[in-house]
Amino acid sequence: MDNLITVTSLLYVLSSVGYILFLFFQKEYLHKLGQVFLATGFLCNSILIGYYYAKTGQIPVRNLHETLLVAGWAVAGVFFAFQYKFKVKILGGYAALLAAVCVVASFLAPGKIVETQTIFNSVWLIAHVVSIFVGHAAFALACGVGLLYIAQENAIKRKKHGFFYKRLPSLDLLDSTGYACIATGFTLLTIGLITGFIYAKSVWGRFWGWDPKEVWSGITWLLYAAILHGRLTVGWRGKKAATMAIIGFAVVLFTFFGVNFLLKGHHGIFTR
């Protein structure tokens, strides 16, 4: 499987290059190349996840190596879903690069064998993991859209429109795309937390145990709830919404990585 991980990483990197070249030269064939490489990388990524699932009978998030593979897969897959709806082409470069970082890091991360445990054989756990990862991927894309929004707004404010003005989508399209990403991510995070509560009750006999990951997941949920509430009630749009999307994803990254490095709990994957 190491060879397939290498191929997947290479495809994601080539996709990033294709999208970046498209940003500079605005040639449609470069965008198509980026799409093809990303789609092929996503297919290889899916095969890897399927292989690990078939081998163990459990969703492959038992160690850092497997978890990063699923993270890369989620980012690429969610991008295609939003690309179909919103057609923000240049966002593919961000998604492909993020997926490449995840898969390359997966290749370098320790992949210690984890003993198969029956507590992982639960439909609630699968629903929990898939919802959380896809939701986080949507938040990652919202962050990317936020960065593009700020770049485009700065370009518009200049007296002479520069590099980004002609190459990035309109502010309205970026704003609506970012909102859709956050709304989708929040919905999936909510589903993930609910299914996580049910799984915890079935395994440990309680819905909530004040595990650091649980606490920070709750904080993340509250933050994005506040972002959506602010948009719907006081009109948080534009640059403010873009900035909040970036801050929100920083909290997601801390919840995903920082908690595992700095705090101990039964969700830890980096010591396995």
pLDDT in tens, 16-55: 999 999 999 999 999 999 999 999 999 999 999 999 999 8
What pLDDT score does 270 carry?
42
For 155-204, the pLDDT digits (tens) are: 888 866 778 888 899 999 999 999 999 999 999 999 999 999 999 888 77
Q: Which of 89, 112, 102 is nearest to 41 (CA)?
A: 102
Q: Is the pLDDT of residue 9 over 90?
A: yes
Find all residues with CB under 8 Å of 122, minimum gap 6, and list them.
199, 202, 203
Query: Which residue's entry shows tokens 């980004």?
Result: 164
For 80-109, the pLDDT digits (tens) are: 999 999 999 999 999 999 999 999 999 888
Rounded distance between C-alpha atoms, residue 152 and residue 91, angstroms:
13
Angle at 241 between CA 236 and CA 243, to 5 degrees: 140
Q: Which of 71, 20, 6, 12 is nearest to 36 (CA)?
A: 12
Instruction: Specify whether the backbone of 121 is left (phi greater than 0), alpha (psi in -120 to 50) or beta.
Output: beta
Rounded distance between C-alpha atoms, residue 256 and residue 170, angstroms:
32
Q: What is the mean pLDDT of the chain?
A: 89
Residue 143 exposure: Cα atoms within 13 Å on the Cβ side: 19
Rounded distance between C-alpha atoms, residue 175 and residue 32, angstroms:
25
Neighbours of 35 (CB within 10 A): 19
- 75 in helix, strand or coil? helix
Rounded distance between C-alpha atoms, residue 201 and residue 197, angstroms:
6
- 186 in helix, strand or coil? helix
Query: Distance of alpha carbon 49 from its chain centroid, rounded?
Result: 16
Of residues 110 and 58, more confidently modeled: 58
